[in-house]
Amino acid sequence: MNLQVEIPGRKASLLLANPVMTASGTFSFGLERGHMFDIQKLGAVVTKTVTLQPRAGNPQVRTAETPAGMLNAIGLQNPGVDAVIREMAPRWARWRIPAVVSILGATIDEYGRLARRLDGVEGVSAIEVNISSPNAQRGGMEFGQDAESAAAVTEAVVAKTTLPVIVKLTPNVTDIVNIARAVVDAGADALCLINTLQAMAIDAQERRPTISSTFAGLSGPAIKPVALRMVYQVASAIDVPIVGCGGISAGEDAVEFLLAGATAVEVGTATFVNPRAPLDVLEGLERYMHDRGIEDVGELVGAALRRV
Ligand SMILES: Cc1cc2nc3c(=O)[nH]c(=O)nc-3n(C[C@H](O)[C@H](O)[C@H](O)COP(=O)(O)O)c2cc1C
C-alpha cells in the first residue's frame, strides 16, 4: 500500500511518507516530551506560527468550548524566529520526517524577512504562510481577506526562499476561489484550507464577551463541512496541491478531504480531545484503503469531484 504523497516545489519538493500532518498551533513545535505516540509516524509536523519577534500572546481567557468545537484567540504566542532556528531546527534536522514552519508577518516586508531567515536552515523542509494577519495599511483587514494583499504576501515569500511554500487561507472571505487563484498565480506551491472561522462567545452571567480579545477562531468538527466545501470548490477550479484542514478527527474525515481534492490533511483541535488523534487518523486511513483494496492513496485524491 502506497501512502506517500509529494507536494512539488519550485526548487525542492515536500515529500511525505503519508498524507497526515499536524495543524499549526495545536502541536507546538513537535519537540515536547510525552507525546502519546511516535510523531515520526506522521507525514510531517507543522509548527506553531512563528513571528520575527517573540510574542507573549493574548491575556486569559483565550479559549472556550463550543458545541462540536472550540474557540481560540491565543494571539500567536511564540519565541520568535531566531530562537526557533537556534534551538529547534537542529533537533528537526535529526528527524525522519519534515518539519514545516508556519510564519506570519505584521507587514509584507516582515513576511519576506521571515522567509529569508528560514531559507537554507537545516531541519526546515517547507514554509506554511499564515495570512490571517491584520494588514494595518488596509484598516486591519487580514492579508488573507483581500486577493491583492494575499498575492503580495505570497510573492514576497516566494522571492526569498527556495523551500516549498504552502499558503494557508482564511475561510473568512466571500469568494475563496478568487483568493486561492491570486495566491497560486503569485507563486504558491500549495494551499492549506482552512484556518479558523471568525466567531465569538458571550458570558450571559457576566454580560460580556467570554474571550479577552472579544473575537476568536472557531475550529473542530463544527467547521468540517465548511472546510470540505472550500477544498472542493478550490480543487474544482484550480490545479494546485491542497492540504485540507478543519475538524478532522478520524480516518474517514481524512478520506473525505482527499476525495474532495486534498493531497494531504492536517489534524488540529482533535488532538486536544485525543492526544493520539493524528495517528488515529492515519491508521483509520490505512484501514479504509486496506478494506477496499486501494493500493495508492493518490487514487482517492479528487475522486469525488464532479468532472465537467
Ligand atoms: C489552539 C489553537 C491554536 C492555533 N494556532 C494556529 C497558529 O498558530 N497558526 C495557524 O495557522 N493556525 C492556527 N490554528 C488553526 C489550526 O491550525 C487549524 O487551521 C484550525 O483549527 C482548523 O482545524 P481543526 O478543526 O482540525 O483544528 C490554531 C487552532 C487552535 C485550536
In Å, how far are 171, 251, 255, 280 from 284, measured between CA atoms? 27, 4, 9, 6
Mean pLDDT within 174-189: 98
pTM of the model: 0.98
Residue nearest to atom 14 of ligand 1 (CA): 25
Percent of the chain with pLDDT over 70: 99
CA 171 to ligand 1 center in whole angstroms: 12
- Looking up cell 466567531 gives 199
Instruction: Provide the mean pLDDT of the chain.
Output: 96
Atom of ligand 1 nearest to the CA of 220: 25
Neighbours of 239 (CB within 10 A): 7
Please report the pLDDT score of residue 136 as a whole number.
83
**Strand-pair partners of 191:** 167, 242
- Mutational test site, ligand 1, from 196, 223, 267, 281, max ligand atoms within 8 Å of CB: 196
Answer whether 249 contacts ligand 1 (Cβ < 6 A).
Answer: no
Q: pLDDT digit string (tens) for 50-67?
A: 999 999 999 999 999 999
CA 22 to ligand 1 center in whole angstroms: 10
| Residue 167 reports pLDDT greater than 80 | yes
CA 17 to ligand 1 center in whole angstroms: 23
Please report the pLDDT score of residue 38 as a whole number.
92
CA 249 to ligand 1 center in whole angstroms: 14
Answer whether 247 contacts ligand 1 (Cβ < 6 A).
Answer: yes
Please report the pLDDT score of residue 308 as a whole number.
56
Percent of the chain with pLDDT over 90: 93
C-alpha–C-alpha distance, residues 167 and 129, integer Å: 5
Atom of ligand 1 nearest to the CA of 23: 17
Answer whether 268 contacts ligand 1 (Cβ < 6 A).
Answer: yes
Confidence class of residue 135 from pLDDT cuts 50, 70 and 90?
confident
Answer whether 271 contacts ligand 1 (Cβ < 6 A).
Answer: no
- Mutational test site, ligand 1, from 114, 127, 197, 269, max ligand atoms within 8 Å of CB: 269
CA 196 to ligand 1 center in whole angstroms: 6
Mean pLDDT within 118-128: 98
Please report the pLDDT score of residue 271 as a whole number.
96
Whether residue 81 contacts residue 103, with contact meaning beta carbons closer than 8 Å, is answered with: yes
Please report the pLDDT score of residue 32 as a whole number.
83
| Residue 292 reports pLDDT greater than 60 | yes
Mean pLDDT within 108-130: 98
C-alpha–C-alpha distance, residues 14 and 164, integer Å: 7
Answer whether 168 contacts ligand 1 (Cβ < 6 A).
Answer: yes
| Residue 165 reports pLDDT greater than 90 | yes
Answer whether 161 contacts ligand 1 (Cβ < 6 A).
Answer: no
Confidence class of residue 166 from pLDDT cuts 50, 70 and 90?
very high
- Residue 296 CB contacts under 8 Å (≥ 6 apart), including other chains: 1, 2
Confidence class of residue 139 from pLDDT cuts 50, 70 and 90?
confident
| Residue 7 reports pLDDT greater than 80 | yes
Atom of ligand 1 nearest to the CA of 224: 25
- Mutational test site, ligand 1, from 70, 219, 267, 273, max ligand atoms within 8 Å of CB: 219
Please report the pLDDT score of residue 35 as a whole number.
78
3-state SS, the chain, equals CECCEEECCCCCCEEECCCEEECCCCCCCCCCCCCCCCHHHCCEEECCCECCCCECCCCCCCEEEECCEEEECCCCCECCHHHHHHHHHHHHCCCCCCEEEEECCCCHHHHHHHHHHHCCCCCCCEEEEECCCECHHHCCCEHHHCHHHHHHHHHHHHHCCCCCEEEEECCCCCCHHHHHHHHHHCCCCEEEECCCEEEECEECCCCEECCCCCEEEEECHHHHHHHHHHHHHHHHHCCCCEEEECCCCCHHHHHHHHHCCCCEEEECCHHHHCCCHHHHHHHHHHHHHHHCCCCEHHHCCCCCCCCC
CA 75 to ligand 1 center in whole angstroms: 11
Residue nearest to atom 15 of ligand 1 (CA): 195
Atom of ligand 1 nearest to the CA of 168: 11
C-alpha–C-alpha distance, residues 70 and 251, integer Å: 21
Mean pLDDT within 263-272: 98
| Residue 197 reports pLDDT greater than 60 | yes
